[in-house]
Amino acid sequence: MRTTTLKLLSTTSKNTSFIKTLTAQSGFDYCGIAKAEKLDEDARRLEQWLNKGLHGKMQYMENYFDLRIDPAKLVPGAKSVITLLLNYYPEQVQREGAPKIARYAYGKDYHEVIREKLNTLLQQLRAEIGEINGRGFVDSAPVLERTWAQKSGLGWIGKNGNLINSKSGSYFFIATLITDIELDYESPMNKDYCGTCTRCIDNCPTEAILPNKVIDGSRCISYYTIELKDALIPSNMQGKFDNWMFGCDVCQDVCPWNRFSKPTNEASFSPLPAILNFTTADWEEMTEESFKIIFKTSPLKRTKFSGIKRNLHFIQQP
């Protein structure tokens, strides 16, 4: 029995080490692993958040509730949740005075970039370890990725709702890989290093950041400029967008922990020339045909040409 147990422990450690090495070679900046379990506490918080209507018109947030809180419903027999962070902080920024775009959208659509990395990872894991059941997720799936990142020791949830890493800040994409193999698990990050700082709360242009790490999604600039599909943005938001045309980085820009942010090494996230160089006039004169060509691989296509024009018109109104 003892020999069998030692062999299992040896295999678990070997597989864990292989995964850590492989994810680093794949370009991910951090890898943390947590035991797959049902997220009962998060279930209560999510239910309260939805009941208060803080998700606005994002009805998809109400879907697949059971899947969000139980990894075994996404991957039968799930034993481990691997969380991966990929830095997207750009070396260059937009020209002064241009309609502002959130930094995550400067380069190629991260969904495509990370999904390809996760698929390759799974193939390599199966080639090394054998037949394993696993699925990779990035943002668009019903996974509470920030909770899993915290549980695997990669950081804490800040007052702005973002995962914050003490060494690198918060400009990261979070990817999740759920598998049915036992691995060595990290200790969760149980400390909150935001302390008494309230910069994100004080500087949010639309007062979307509430106490106790609750975000009113229905007031967030990212919600209005990306998620909201209505033809018009509510007039009571007029003058509050601080020239943000697609997304918003204010709560990250003012966060002291982001003084540790360093430019990404991922070439796919290099800013498109148009993102860096377009003036307000360039955005105004852009046609739908040119939009589809220039931004065919960009996250900006999510809001479509009509959404960009709507947002541009809204932020320019007096």
Q: What is the pLDDT of residues 16-29, one digit of tens each?
A: 999 999 999 999 99
pLDDT (average), residues 94-118? 96
- Nearest Cα neighbor of 140 from 66, 204, 63 is 63
Q: Provide the whole-model pTM.
A: 0.91
Count CB atoms within 10 A of the CB of residue 235: 9
Based on the domain organization, do 39 and 142 belong to the same domain?
yes
Residues ≥6 apart with Cβ < 8 Å to 140 = 111
> Are the C-beta atoms of residues 83 and 175 closer than 8 Å to each other?
yes
Q: Are residues 175 and 233 in the same domain?
A: no
In the chain, % of residues over pLDDT 70: 92
Q: What are phi and psi of 150, to 5 degrees?
A: -65, -40
Residue 162 in domain: yes
> Is 109 noted as a catalytic residue in this protein?
no
pLDDT confidence of 283, banded at 50, 70, 90?
very high
Q: And the tokens for 70? A: 């139980």
49 and 81 inside one domain: yes
For 287-301, the pLDDT digits (tens) are 999 999 999 999 999
Collapsed DSSP state (helix, strand, coil) of residue 39: coil
184 lies in a domain? Answer: no
* 30, containing H or E segment: strand 30-35
**Looking at the structure, do residues 212 and 121 belong to the same domain, yes or no?**
no
Query: How far apart, in Å, are the Cα atoms of 167 and each of 1, 17, 155, 286, 301?
Result: 42, 22, 9, 40, 32
- The predicted model gives 157-170 an average pLDDT of 97
- What is the distance between the alpha carbons of residues 142 and 61, in angstroms, rounded to a whole number? 8
In a domain, 153, yes or no: yes
| Distance (Å, whole) CA 155 – CA 192 | 9
Task: Give a yes or no: residue 303 inside a domain.
Answer: yes
Average of per-residue pLDDT across 214-224: 93
Average pLDDT, the chain: 91
The arithmetic mean of pLDDT across residues 131-149, rounded, is 87
> Which band of pLDDT confidence, cut at 50, 70 and 90, is reported for residue 10?
confident
Let me know whether 61 and 169 are in one domain: yes
Last residue of a domain, one of 116, 144, 179: 179
Look at residue 187 and tell me if it is in a domain. no
**Residues 294, 207 share a domain:** yes
Residue 279 CB partners (closer than 8 Å, separation 6+): 95, 97, 98
Residues 237, 139 within the same domain: no
Hey, is 178 helix, strand or coil?
A: strand
Could you tell me the residue range of the domain that residue 208 belongs to? 199-260+272-316
Amino acid 81 reads V
Is 79 within a domain? yes
> Does 31 reside within a domain?
yes
Do residues 246 and 172 both lie within one domain?
A: no
Q: How far apart are CA 76 and CA 233, in angstroms?
A: 42
**Catalytic: which of 40, 42, 109, 139?**
139
How many domains, the chain?
Answer: 2
> Mean pLDDT across the stretch 222-235?
93
- Domain stops at, among 148, 179, 210: 179
Q: Is 199 helix (H, G, I), strand (E, B) or coil?
A: helix
Mark whether 120 and 255 lie in a shared domain: no
Q: Kindly state the helix (H) or strand (E) to which residue 87 belongs, with its residue range.
A: strand 80-87
Residue 276 has pLDDT above 80, yes or no: yes
Q: Is the domain of 80 the same as that of 225?
A: no
Question: In which band, very low, low, confident or very high, does the pLDDT at 1 lie, cut at 50, 70 and 90?
Answer: very low
Name 120's Cβ contacts closer than 8 Å, sequence gap at least 6.
Answer: 26
Phi, psi of 294 (to 5 degrees): -65, -40
Shared-domain flag, residues 17 and 124: yes
Query: Does residue 174 carry a pLDDT above 90?
Result: yes
* Predicted pLDDT at 39: 87
R_g of the chain computed on alpha carbons: 21
User: Based on the domain organization, do 148 and 237 belong to the same domain?
Assistant: no
Residue 188 is assigned to a structural domain of this protein: no
Pick the residue with more confidence: 144 or 318?
144
